[in-house]
Amino acid sequence: MVKKNDLAEIKDYLDSKYNKFANPEFIETDPIQIPHLFSLKEDIEISAIISATIAWGQRKTIIKNASSFMSLMDDSPYEFVINHNEKDLNRFNKSVHRTFNSQDLKYFIRSLKNIYLNHNGLENVFTSKDCLYEGLVNFYRMFFLLPCNPNTRRHVANVETGSAAKRLNMFLRWMVRDDKRGIDFGLWKSISPAELYIPLDVHSGRIARLLGILERNQNDWKAVCELTEVLRKFDPHDPIKYDFALFGVGVNEDF
């Protein structure tokens, strides 16, 4: 791992890149624009968890398909989730995003209905345990309480098996952080931004390794914890702001 004086230089570098990339223009090209279409807390949560779940591949395609899913919910995702019946789900028969197909989307809607009606909503499911890691474990268990196709499970990360849980950690960043820049929502007050984990992907992982703040080669949960601990040294109160810096450099700049 890099020396302490080098860490100070890396922090300054990442702070500058955070200030460069964490601005409202980021929304225009990111799947976070989908939940930004809504104002009701539950609409934001549901549109966010679905958009984050399909956030792999080209961002234009992610945004297009997430927007289509919301349209099929009459652009009122919470009302649709709560009040739908099985016949209503037929409208999703042709819905697909890469390997995320109509059966997967239908299960998401059924499971979200169960979570909101019987378990006090998404925020409660993630915060009903002592720490956020346990919240991630609890969410996975609660989400799959209903009968489902085994293939649907591959679309929801299980941190108990060592998954980096990139998309869930990105969803949590959206819900928890509030940096007054108008990007992340800061809706959930029951989780502190200090508890968040980095949404580790190929871009952020590559830049972190080039900077010397991540040694582990695999993008798994151990790597998430290793990198997050370094970022907490840079900003103990809001470590995951550096997701904007690492991802932004990885996607937009020749490091």
Angstrom distance (rounded) from CA 183 to CA 146:
33
- Computed on alpha carbons and rounded to an integer, the radius of gyration of the chain in Å comes to 18
Q: Please report the pLDDT score of residue 252 as a whole number.
A: 86
Q: What is the mean pLDDT of residues 137-161?
A: 95
Angstrom distance (rounded) from CA 47 to CA 81:
11
Angstrom distance (rounded) from CA 177 to CA 241:
8
Q: Is the pLDDT of residue 3 over 70?
A: no
Average per-residue pLDDT in the chain? 94
DSSP string, 85-118: -GGGGGGGTT--BTTB-HHHHHHHHHHHHHHHHH
Q: What is the 3-state secondary structure (H, E, C) of 47-88?
A: HHHHHHHCCCCCHHHHHHHHHHHHHHCCCCHHHHHHHCCHHH
Q: How far, in Å, are 72, 148, 200, 221 from residue 213 at the CA level?
A: 43, 40, 13, 15
**Under 8 Å between Cβ of 32 and 22:** no
Angstrom distance (rounded) from CA 148 to CA 103:
9
**Under 8 Å between Cβ of 115 and 142:** yes
Q: Please report the pLDDT score of residue 177 as a whole number.
A: 97
Q: Is the pLDDT of residue 175 over 80?
A: yes
Q: What is the mean pLDDT of residues 124-143?
A: 93
Q: Is the pLDDT of residue 233 over 60?
A: yes
Q: Please report the pLDDT score of residue 255 as a whole number.
A: 59
Q: Is the pLDDT of residue 1 over 70?
A: no
Give the confidence band of 214 by pLDDT, cuts at 50, 70, 90: very high
Give the DSSP H or E segment for 226.
Answer: helix 221-234
Beta bridge partners of 100: 97
Q: Please report the pLDDT score of residue 58 as a whole number.
A: 85
Token pair 């961002």 is found at 59
Q: Please report the pLDDT score of residue 194 as a whole number.
A: 97
Question: Computed from CA positions of residues 8, 205, 64, 42, in that sequence, does the dihedral angle turn out positive or negative?
Answer: negative
Q: Please report the pLDDT score of residue 196 as a whole number.
A: 98
Angstrom distance (rounded) from CA 175 to CA 186:
5
Q: Taking Cα atoms as reference points, which of 39, 43, 92 lies closest to residue 68?
A: 92
Question: CB-hemisphere CA count at 13 Å for 191?
Answer: 33
**Which range of residues forms the domain containing residue 22?**
4-252
- Give the pLDDT confidence of 104-125 residue by residue, as tens digits: 999 999 999 999 999 999 999 9
Straight-line distance from the first to the last Cα atom of the chain, in angstroms, rounded to the nearest whole number: 19
How many structural domains is the chain composed of? 1
Q: Is the pLDDT of residue 99 over 90?
A: no
